[in-house]
Amino acid sequence: MAALFDDVAAEGAMRPILGMEEPYHYRNKVVSPYAPGRRLSDGAERGRGGARDMRSASGRGRAGVKGHDRRRGRAEAPRREVLCGMYASGSHRIVPTDGCLIENEEAKRIIRAIRDLMGRFGLTPYDEDAHAGFLRHAVVRVGHESGEVLVTLVTNGREFPASRAFCRELVRRCPAVTTIVQNVNERRTNVILGQREQRLYGPGFILDTLCGLSFRISSQSFYQVNAVQTEVLYETAVFLAGLTGVERVIDAYCGTGTIGLVAAKRGAAQVTGVDTVASAIRDARENARHNGVENARFVVGDAGDFMRGLSRVGERADVLLMDPPRAGASEAFLEAAAELAPARIVYISCNPETQVRDLRFLKGRGYAVRVVQPVDMFPHTDHIETVALLTRDGSAEGSSRGDVGADVASSELGPGDAAKRPACGQDQARSVGVDVSKASSPHAGNESGGGRG
How confident is the prediction along the chain (453 residues), in pLDDT tens digits per residue?
A: 889 999 999 889 999 999 999 999 999 999 999 999 988 776 554 444 443 333 333 333 343 444 454 333 344 544 789 999 999 988 889 999 889 999 999 999 999 999 999 999 999 999 999 999 999 999 999 999 999 999 999 999 999 989 999 999 999 999 999 999 999 999 999 999 999 999 999 999 999 999 999 998 889 887 889 999 999 999 999 999 999 999 999 999 998 899 999 999 999 999 999 999 898 899 899 999 999 999 999 999 999 999 999 999 999 999 999 999 999 999 999 999 999 999 999 999 999 999 999 999 999 999 999 999 999 999 999 899 999 999 997 554 443 333 443 333 333 333 333 333 344 333 443 344 433 233 333 333 333 333 323
Q: Could you tell me the CA-to-CA distances from 396 to 13, 210, 246 in Å, in that order?
A: 19, 34, 17
Of 205, 225, 216, the closest CA to residue 286 belongs to 216
pTM (2 d.p.): 0.77
HEC sequence for the chain: CHHHHCCCECCCCECCCECCCCCCCCECEEEEEEEEEEECCHHHHHHCCCCCCCCCCCCCCCCCCCCCECCCCECCCCCEEEEEEEECCCCCCEEECCCCCCECHHHHHHHHHHHHHHCCCCCCECECCCCECCEEEEEEEECCCCCCEEEEEEECCCCCCCHHHHHHHHHHHCCCEEEEEEEECCCCCCCCCCCEEEEEECCCCEEEEECCEEEEECCCCCCCCCHHHHHHHHHHHHHHHCCCCCEEEEEECCCCCHHHHHHHHCCEEEEEEEECCHHHHHHHHHHHHHCCCCCEEEEECCHHHHHHHHHHCCCCCCEEEECCCCCCCCHHHHHHHHHHCCCEEEEEECCHHHHHHHHHHHHCCCEEEEEEEEECCCCCCCCCEEEEEEEECCCHHHHHHHHHHHCECHHHCCHHHHCCCCCCHHHHHHHCCECHHHHCCCCCCCCCCCCCC
Of 348, 30, 352, the closest CA to residue 177 belongs to 30
> In the sheet where 319-322 sits, what is the strand order?
296-300, 268-275, 247-252, 319-322, 344-349, 385-392, 367-375
> Chain centroid to CA 77: how far?
36
d(CA 381, CA 379): 5
Q: Give the per-residue pLDDT at 43.
A: 56
Q: Which residues are catalytic?
A: 350
Q: Give the per-residue pLDDT at 305.
A: 97
d(CA 193, CA 136): 10
Q: Side chain identity at 327, as an amino acid letter?
A: A
Q: Side chain identity at 406, as an amino acid letter?
A: A
